[in-house]
């Protein structure tokens, strides 16, 4: 079995848990690839007593024989890992060192059970839709896709903007707002939910369009099929806007041509059998919590 480990930087006091993960993998004679920065930061070469660690820097250093990429950190680290592997079709498993851990759902106290499930393949694969951004100017480099959402924002000091939105070329609405979110089902529990958008199940094959602080009482979120192409034209008193894909953002001209659609490939998450989507909603977001029950 071949496993890759990625983190954008765990705290120095978490080195013990990282070493414990390596030791658990070594118990099963797993071939381990580790993000190069982690090897240098924690001197991890000495932690592998059976096989030397194989460093990797980009997705080009990995290949489709990798059975799993383990993301060590929080949900933001998982999002980074997805842009790293791209369309390599490598399943992702997140170990949570952050706060919420909605995507990185495995506790650091479950390392032994997690590795055992990996080795014996007693887990479930969840496929999640990605959103793809097309633009007439280069934005977001070689990774113009995201797991959670694409968002348009006004600059911090500018007044609200007007976002003309089209669905498959047909006019949908003009949003007078601070911004607009197009979220995937996975992202519906993130920024979209905080702006009063609905929660979508991962299998719903939809996008949800949610305005940010709209200046209309009758403007609400709308759910559209993920086969749609959603395009935008922006008006505003300033020349620039902010485009965001998950945690990444770029400042661009308001005259840029933007359109989003479903990405051609998806991402696979490894889920232990006992962790269903509904149980995650209840435990992470306290869904349905009522002191009277």
Active site residues: 75
What does the alpha-carbon distance between residue 229 and residue 275 come to, in Å, rounded to a whole number? 33
Backbone angles phi, psi at 186, to 5 degrees: -65, -45
Q: Please state, in angstroms and rounded to a whole number, the distance separating the CA atoms of residues 212 and 264.
A: 28
Residue 72 three-state SS: strand
- Residue 217 DSSP label: T
CA distance 165 to 153: 14
Helix (H) or strand (E) holding 18: helix 15-27
The DSSP bridge partners found for residue 225 are: 206
The alpha carbon of residue 151 and the mean position of all alpha carbons in its chain are separated, in whole angstroms, by 14
Burial-class residue 267 by CB neighbours within 10 Å (0-12, 13-18, 19+): buried
């Amino acid at each position: 079995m071949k496993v890759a480990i990625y983190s954008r930087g765990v705290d120095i006091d978490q080195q013990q848990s990282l070493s414990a993960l390596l030791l658990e993998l070594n118990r099963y004679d797993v071939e381990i690839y580790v993000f190069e920065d982690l090897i240098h930061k924690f001197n991890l070469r000495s932690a592998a007593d059976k096989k030397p660690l194989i460093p990797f820097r980009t997705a080009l250093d990995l290949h489709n024989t990798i059975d799993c990429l383990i993301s060590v950190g929080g949900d933001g680290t998982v999002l980074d890992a997805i842009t790293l592997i791209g369309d390599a079709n490598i399943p992702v498993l997140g170990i949570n060192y952050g706060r919420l851990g909605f995507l990185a759902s495995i506790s650091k106290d479950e390392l032994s059970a997690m590795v055992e499930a990996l080795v014996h393949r007693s887990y479930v694969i969840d496929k999640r839709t990605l959103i793809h951004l097309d633009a007439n100017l280069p934005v977001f480099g070689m990774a113009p896709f995201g797991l959670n959402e694409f968002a348009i924002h006004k600059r911090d000091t500018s007044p609200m903007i007007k976002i003309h939105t089209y669905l498959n070329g047909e006019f949908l609405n003009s949003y007078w707002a601070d911004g607009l979110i197009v979220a995937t089902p996975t992202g519906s529990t993130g920024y979209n939910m905080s702006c009063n958008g609905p929660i979508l199940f991962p299998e719903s094959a939809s996008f949800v369009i949610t305005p940010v602080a709209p200046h209309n009482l009758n403007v609400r979120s709308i759910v559209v099929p993920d086969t749609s192409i959603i395009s935008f034209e922006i008006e505003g008193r300033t020349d620039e806007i902010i485009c965001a894909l998950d945690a990444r953002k770029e400042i661009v001209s308001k005259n840029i041509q933007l359109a989003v659609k479903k990405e051609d490939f998806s991402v696979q998450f490894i889920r232990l059998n006992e962790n269903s989507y509904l149980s995650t909603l209840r435990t992470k977001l306290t869904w349905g919590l009522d002191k009277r029950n």
